[in-house]
Chains A and B, each alone.
Chain A
Amino acid sequence: MNSDALTFLLTAVVKILITIFVLLTAVAYTVWLERKVVGRMQNRWGPSRVGPFGLLQPLADGLKFIFKEDLTPPYVHHFVYILAPMLAVVMALTAIALVPIGPSITIGHITTPIQITGVNDANGGSSDIGIGLLILLGITSISVYGVSLAGWSSNSKYSLLGSLRASAQMVSYEIALGLSLVGVLMISGTFSLREIVRQQQGGFWHWNIFGGFQFVAFFIYIMAAYAETNRIPFDLPEAETELVAGYHTEYSAMKFAMFFMAEYANMITVACVASVIFLGGWSGPIPSFLPPILQSILPVFYFLLRVFFFIFLYIWIRGTLPRFRYDQLMAFGWKFLLPLAIANIVITAFVIAVRG
């Protein structure tokens, strides 16, 4: 193997390891943040015993999950019961590979884009998969199986009801989610996430939400994304007052933790995609007096700032809104979001056609 290929392979492995590590840590601390923020919103402290500000709470939770008894009920469909949490977590972790986190970074003599699927192209720039957004949608649509198979294979009424709700909800909202992205696709003319970010550089008025007048699409995307990730106010599949815990009622120990991880990793991915598509990805002011290494790290910081904003919004809404009723959920998706998304597409197409 020649040295170029070896360098490529090594940087890819290093990028994957760093991303997985950061993502899993982020998942753990999103849980902490959620408990803390929701706690403050409800006028209580949240976790505060383990470490300063309860900062070691995720670690303690993780240890607890590992040492708990991994109970498998005797009446489950074994193969699918074990497959489902793996599927959920694998799909959730795969999706992050497509997200462009920052522009290129140079360490020593190696230059590489800050994105797992990004490569250096021939003329010194960087590019990624030409159909990145479609693959992301594909992964989203396959991740339904984790939830629906979990409920079915558990062979319990509550689980089955939860997973039926989950599949119906995710299939319905996927349509609105996909259609909300079409407006941006028409403006940018590409499926490549890196290219979409590049077109939004240079000030917030270039972002698709403002410059492209896609705020309606942004609203639809946020609503549909909340439904896709089964978060309040759309967390019908795990409505604890009706269904015990929904599709993961029969899961314990690490298998339950895998669903938990998948849910939070999905939240982060959805936040990343929203930042990339609508809020200009990593764009932001970069002072030229900084050393080069900081200049390439700063965009990553801007990107993470946007992701943090979305995560906080998630938690904020969880602390504010009650849960929908199931028929309201379906009516909202099919009778409100879907027509609105189609109207947005038609109007955007019309404006593009008039402008030429």
Chain B
Amino acid sequence: MHKSHDRFEIELEREIALERARKAPSEPELAADWSLKQELRGLGAAELPPVVCARARRTIAAEQRAPWFMAVAAVVVAAVVVTLTLQVPKTPRAVTPSASDMAELQLAFETLNATGHRAATLAGRELSESLTVPDLGLSELPYAGYIRPYFERRDRPNRRLPDRS
């Protein structure tokens, strides 16, 4: 610890001596150090190439106008979207079913129709006997005889409405 501290102090003194020396010191080691120091000093300065400055300025300028560009770009995109939306035709698209679809549809309608007819006939036959014609009070009306036939069922025996007279 003590030794390394001493070494540090010695080297510090030597460096200070080198800094102050106007000419090469007499001690050979230190003279070689001084000589290298001079050589390093003469390595030559490098000028910053103008192209680097120009590139940096371009980047900075681009950064500065970036928010404006973003705003303009956003407005343009919004305008395009709105225009396209307004130009889309409102009418629904025409549907063109194929021949097989049409045939299937036709068959379905015919089946429904036939089944419906059968069900109605069957239901009529079964229920007609049980149904009673409601008394509508037609006899009270003037010329009841003219109106009555319109309310009588043709598919079952005429049941005359009770004649009040």
A and B pair up = no
Interface residues of chain B, those whose CB is within 8 Å of chain A, are: none
Interface residues of chain A, those whose CB is within 8 Å of chain B, are: none
